[in-house]
Amino acid sequence: MRKIYHVINGERVPSRSGKTFFSENPATEEIIAEVAYGEAEDVDYAVESASKAFCEWSRLAPAVRGKLLYKVSEKLLERAEEFARAETEDSGKTYQSNLRIDVPFAAEFWRYYAGAADKIRTPVVANEFGIHRYAVREPYGVVGAIAPWNFPLVMASLKMCAPLSCGNTVVIKMAEQTPLTVTMLAELLLEVGFPPGVVNVVHGDGKTGQCLVNHPKVKKIAFTGSSAVGKLIGAQCAQLGKPALLEMGGKSANIVFADADLDLAADGVLQSGLGNNGQFCLAASRILVEESISDEFISKLLERVRRIKLGDPFCPSTNCGPLISQKQLDRVMNYIEIGKNEGAEIIFGGKRAEHLERGYFLEPTVFWKMKSGMRIWREEIFGPVIGITTFRDEEEAIELANDCDYGLGAYFWSKDVNRVHRVSYFLDSGLVFVNMPAYMVPQMPAGIRKLSGSGYNFGLEAIENYTKLKGIYINYSEQIFPWLS
């Protein structure tokens, strides 16, 4: 069994208290690691290390920081099999998915923000004789990052590379369910030459995260996770006068118009709704189908759902692994019961996988006759559960899609070019995917709206999350201007 320590000030260190917790493989329910449990003393040590390292790191030439980030990208690809295997053991995601998608995606983030390091620009305002006006962007200092378990390596990379590119240092707490790859990543950064203390990892649970949020030397919080926790963190940061980037999930709609390519749409709805077991914030779990094609589309969709194979995530033929934990399985099963009690009809799944004796495997579940007042319509389930309803026309489709407290993503399928632009405009969402499942690139900004949170992910716009803008006025005329005297 592995022993996983914090990574603080360039070293692997146990908790000051000696406390540990255990991490399990969700596909086998076997304990795979004993992990150091971080408390206030450990968080304080990590933050102090990051604070001391900030002076050196922020003063490095941006191109030098960029070269180090680029080395991380290269090393991730060189060690892709190692990271993919650890990610599969830790999270239950299939090995092939980790190897072909997640590790390269994480590497792409490091590559992009390596190039962004020396391209941060600020405005220069039109000047007049005697006064020069310009702005600068400065790093905050220590960024406290709190990341979820659904895409461990990708989320850890996203929480590190953008703030590091700007000159910040980072203390990250990954969800306690997935401690392996974030630790490996922090050690990789040290291997390629990052100074000790620039990135620190503290393992633990919500109490550990709370210590990070409240620490006075943490100048910015970057959080991805549930709305309940995000609201608490946002309130704490508001009281402390501390800025926070909050990404708090979603409940995306997926609209299928009658003029769509229904085979393409069925493939996309499957991937967008049930990919990664529905355990991702952009999961499109509200399926809106135009009445005239509902029977045909549902038939095509169910044909594809039946081909999903649950099982050993290391098996090449498996395309769906387990949920992350017993707690998450219980949560999703409870929502399935809620849906049935509210009057929605299960037309596929709804039970644990009977052929698998161990692991947190759940059949993909499809509800029919889901309505906007139901909890399964309004609340994020974070599991392999989608619901279908119908609409009569474009106006109703847009109204139903926007009838949601979240605003992270939206999807729709249509061949009508005018409709494509029109509906994209009216969907109240930070991201819109047309005739495709979720496919993001680091270059493209992602806005966060409504209960999904605030701020921007990806793109050069993300730099705004991790820098402070300062306006500077310089009088070089050697006299006091009349309006200042």
For residue 241, the tally of other CB atoms under 10 A from its CB is 6
Look up residue 375 and give its amino acid.
R
Q: Is 303 a catalytic residue?
A: no
- How does DSSP assign 234-260, residue by residue? HHHHHHHT--EEEE-----EEEE-TTS
User: What are the start-end ranges of the H helices in 92-205?
Assistant: 95-97, 103-116, 152-166, 180-192
Q: Both tokens of residue 234? A: 């946002």
Q: Is 281 a catalytic residue?
A: yes
CA gap 450, 152 in Å, rounded:
25
Place of tokens 């609409």: 391
Catalytic residue (one of 281, 320, 363, 464): 281
Q: What are phi and psi of 258, to 5 degrees?
A: -65, -25
Q: What are phi and psi of 456, to 5 degrees?
A: -135, 140
Look up residue 484 and give its amino acid.
L
Catalytic residue (one of 247, 363, 380, 464): 247
Nearest to 36 by CA among 8, 57, 63, 61: 8
Q: Both tokens of residue 139? A: 């790093």
Look up residue 83 and give its amino acid.
F
- How does DSSP assign 387-420, residue by residue? EEEEESSHHHHHHHHH-SSEESEEEEE-S-HHHH
Residues contacting residue 32 through CB under 8 Å, at least 6 positions apart: 1, 2, 23, 24, 25, 89, 90, 180
- How does DSSP assign 423-450, residue by residue? HHHH---SEEEESS-----TTS-EE-EE
CA gap 285, 164 in Å, rounded:
34
What sign does the dihedral 214-216-218-222 (CA atoms) show?
positive
Catalytic residue IDs: 247, 281
